[in-house]
A and B are shown apart, each in its own frame.
Chain A
């Protein structure tokens, strides 16, 4: 079946989508955006985090056919200027990236957190990123990156 969806501001009309296909597979295999990562496929790890109509979701738990007529933003679409979004730059600068597999989901979740709370404390960051697993960093550098991004976007005192 056909799915019409806007991804990162670009309209896509994709045919032959499997009725039970996840949005994650749709984004990676049909739209060709591989920044969104596939790890657990059960909503545990957050590697596949994207926005659907501005709401943070695990794309593995959304059926592709459910986004008909909706707007999806992936990690590739965070900065429309084609450069690095301040959250991405902060992850690099703070050393919050090791193997990098969790990073896209972590960045999208951190982006969502800062959009709603420009200057979160540690506890809030831990809670808001609790759906994103990282097996390398021990999370401290990720906390640092979120605070750095908050600082740079000018919201922190």
Chain B
């Protein structure tokens, strides 16, 4: 059992004991241990590291730096204003008990295609701050996911924080699953309208080997919004076209949680709805036409 009280100590132990499994909230790792799917020689417990469970504004207030130990509950309670999309996604994670322990960094380290935070992090162009005794690096979220449960994290590295740009416009997240709570997404989608940067960001979850961006949908919407970022009316047909482009960007498979066909259909609906809601937030549509 390795239990560093400082970040420096954690990195030293990580390089000295590469066979140790890092553990924070434990909501993924303990399931694998309880079911005999994981038998790490020892655990590297990150829950006693000073300051890892706090967040701060950096970059002149344009970015929130979320420590690796910040729970989903804290994100919901404290960051729904600065990072509304991430807070929305956090609300859909598991149950109160799971949200009290689970972290965004843990979501990233597991790198499941179904991780609830991933679509939002893609849509917001987040960066992952990782560090080892060799040094610190920032990984663009677009370069982070390599395959199902595979990420760009090196064996001697630990995730120290996640850097999420603060919202400058509407953000939306939607998820489909068999019930409201305790659900691994069958499909999920996130949208970020970066009004200041005049950029559209998207993220698709549970519908490909990794979380994905819907680049053609982003491109189309950016052109449609070209001179209307002030919130004047955008045609409803744009929402339908956007949804269709989101569905096309996915590369889903049939599995226990749903068929590829269902996932594609659901993503078209989620894409359309998220855009309708976001446009309503932007003031570009009245509430009645947003469906």
Contacts and interface: CB of A to CB of B under 8 A. Distances in A.
A86 B182 CA distance: 28
Contacts of A43: 27, 30-31, 94-95, 97-98
B96 A128 contact: yes
A62 B3 CA distance: 14
Contacts of A127: 96, 181
A109 interface: yes
Interface residues of B, number: 28
B45 A63 contact: yes
B198 interface: no
A22 B100 contact: no
Contacts of B39: 20
Contacts of B1: 1, 19, 65
A61 B101 contact: yes
B79 interface: no
A27 B45 CA distance: 19
Interface stretch (A49-57, A72-80, A148-156): A49-57
Nearest to B26: A61
Interface in A6-65: 19-20, 22, 41-44, 46, 49, 55-58, 60-63, 65
B45 A131 contact: no
Contacts of A41: 31, 34-35
A93 interface: no
Q: Which of B23, B30, B35, B101 has the most CB atoms of chain A within a 10 A radius of its CB?
A: B30
A63 B26 contact: yes
A20 B40 contact: yes
B95 A131 contact: yes
A66 interface: yes
Contact of A46 (B27, B97, B101): B97
B259 interface: no
Given A43-B27, A131-B98, A68 B42 contact: no
A113 to B, nearest CB: 8
A42 B29 CA distance: 10
Contacts of A137: none
A20 B95 CA distance: 23
A114 to B, nearest CB: 13
Interface in A123-152: 127-128, 130-132
B58 interface: no
B27 A61 contact: yes
B180 interface: yes
Given A42-B31, A66-B26, A130-B95, A57 B101 contact: yes
Interface of A: 1, 19-20, 22, 41-44, 46, 49, 55-58, 60-63, 65-66, 68, 109, 112, 127-128, 130-132
Q: Which 9 A-B pairs have the closest CB atoms?
A: A131-B95, A130-B181, A41-B34, A61-B30, A42-B31, A131-B97, A58-B97, A65-B1, A20-B33
Given A49-B97, A128-B96, 7 more contacts: A20-B33, A20-B39, A20-B43, A22-B30, A61-B98, A130-B95, A131-B97
